[in-house]
């Protein structure tokens, strides 16, 4: 049938006839070699059908045009802004919708429309950012479930700020391999805060103990996170810890005691202004005087110099194969050099010595408990 035929019949046709006519005309437009006049006439008729009072007619258009790369752009964008049953076809399928079109649909659409966009086979950084910034929770959850979606690190940070209190969002983020280390740390803090605020936890522990346990859990989670963080993400994680105020002396001591020397080196680079190659060289074979100058440049307290030096010496021995020890023995050696009977040397004030010794004792007890757990699990698995 010709285009003119459809133009003549459409005015007095039933909904069923108009649906058939709309689908047929759309196929003719896409598949036939129309001359210029007929193509213009067909496009004009298809444009008029965007205003058809029956959604079934517009749905017939969407069904045909949603998978075509040659559909009229203005019709595609018009259908993408239609009611959700129709828009779903375009938002979920059409490759003709630009990032700008999709962002506009996110801003002006319902949560259901946002969810359809989030599930597209290809979601760009810009579209993901828009969904995370203004999308409803169901759309954000769909986006996180879409492993093909491109999500920038800054968008993950914004997501944790905006929806980190939502348990379902946290659960999806925990299992998301795209999550950068600094965001994973922020997520751990959010989870700990949520647990601390649970009525059952408050009833069992009380507010003060719950907060203390939460803080200890966050520190342990931070240490574990370092072990799973690629070296290229160290600077971002360190900056995040600095901004949060978590890059404390106690944290640095724990990092070195746990043997995370590469991360310790990255911390020293960030704090001291020394080059990475210089810091690495000093950590590998630097003498006590040179290490002291490095620690001083990084702003570490004098009370940390000796225990840090002892730990580095121990881990050097482990790296070279001369020693076969773990964190528990390393911490024991650190404690031996800040014990009360060493105060006579006068190099460390008594109060600082007490604080350092108290910290090392806590770390030592934690190491003993961790070793006991691992041993018990090994026995159970045997």
**Helix, strand, coil % over all residues of the chain, rounded to 5:** 75, 0, 25
Phi, psi torsion values for 17, nearest 5 degrees: -65, -40
Query: What is this structure's pTM?
Result: 0.71
What pLDDT was estimated at residue 53?
A: 87
Please state, in angstroms and rounded to a whole number, the distance separating the CA atoms of residues 373 and 325.
18
Please state, in angstroms and rounded to a whole number, the distance separating the CA atoms of residues 91 and 77.
9
Residue 184: Cβ within 10 Å count: 22
What pLDDT was estimated at residue 34?
A: 80
Residues of the chain scoring pLDDT < 50: 1, 342-351
What pLDDT was estimated at residue 2?
A: 52
Check the CA dihedral 268-273-277-283 and report its sign.
Answer: negative
What pLDDT was estimated at residue 189?
A: 84
What pLDDT was estimated at residue 375?
A: 76
- In this structure, what token pair is assigned to residue 283? 């950590």
What pLDDT was estimated at residue 345?
A: 47
What pLDDT was estimated at residue 380?
A: 79
What pLDDT was estimated at residue 339?
A: 62
Give the CA dihedral 106, 111, 117, 119, nearest 10 degrees: 150
What pLDDT was estimated at residue 42?
A: 83
Give the CA dihedral 74, 76, 81, 83, nearest 10 degrees: 130
């Amino acid at each position: 049938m010709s285009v003119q035929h459809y133009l003549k019949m459409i005015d007095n046709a039933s909904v069923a006839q108009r649906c058939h006519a709309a689908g047929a005309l759309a196929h003719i437009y896409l598949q036939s070699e129309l001359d210029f006049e007929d193509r213009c006439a067909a496009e004009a008729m298809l444009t008029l059908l965007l205003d058809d009072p029956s959604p079934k007619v517009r749905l017939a258009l969407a069904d045909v045009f949603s998978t075509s790369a040659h559909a009229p752009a203005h019709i595609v964008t018009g259908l993408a802004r239609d009611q959700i049953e129709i828009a779903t076809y375009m938002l979920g399928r059409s490759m003709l919708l630009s990032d700008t079109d999709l962002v506009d649909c996110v801003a002006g659409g319902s949560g259901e429309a946002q969810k359809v966009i989030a599930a597209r086979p290809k979601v760009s950084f810009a579209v993901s950012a828009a969904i995370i910034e203004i999308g409803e929770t169901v759309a954000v959850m769909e986006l996180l479930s879409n492993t093909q979606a491109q999500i920038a690190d800054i968008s993950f940070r914004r997501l944790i700020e905006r929806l980190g209190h939502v348990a379902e969002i946290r659960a999806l983020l925990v299992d998301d391999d795209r999550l950068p280390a600094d965001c994973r740390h922020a997520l751990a803090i959010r989870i700990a805060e949520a647990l601390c605020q649970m009525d059952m936890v408050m009833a069992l522990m009380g507010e003060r103990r719950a907060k203390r346990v939460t803080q200890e859990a966050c520190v342990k989670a931070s240490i574990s996170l370092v072990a799973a963080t690629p070296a290229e993400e160290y600077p971002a994680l360190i900056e995040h810890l600095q901004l949060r105020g978590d890059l404390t002396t106690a944290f640095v001591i724990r990092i070195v005691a746990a043997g995370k020397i590469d991360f310790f080196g990255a911390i020293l680079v960030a704090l001291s202004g020394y080059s990475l190659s210089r810091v690495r060289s000093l950590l590998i074979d630097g003498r006590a005087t040179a290490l002291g100058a490095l620690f001083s440049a990084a702003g570490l307290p004098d009370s940390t110099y000796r225990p840090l030096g002892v730990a580095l010496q121990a881990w050097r021995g482990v790296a070279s194969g001369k020693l076969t020890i773990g964190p528990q023995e390393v911490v024991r050696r650190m404690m031996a050099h800040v014990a009360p009977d060493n105060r006579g040397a006068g190099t460390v004030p008594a109060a600082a010595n007490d604080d350092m010794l108290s910290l090392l004792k806590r770390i030592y007890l934690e190491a003993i408990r961790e070793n006991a757990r691992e041993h018990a699990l090994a026995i159970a698995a045997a």
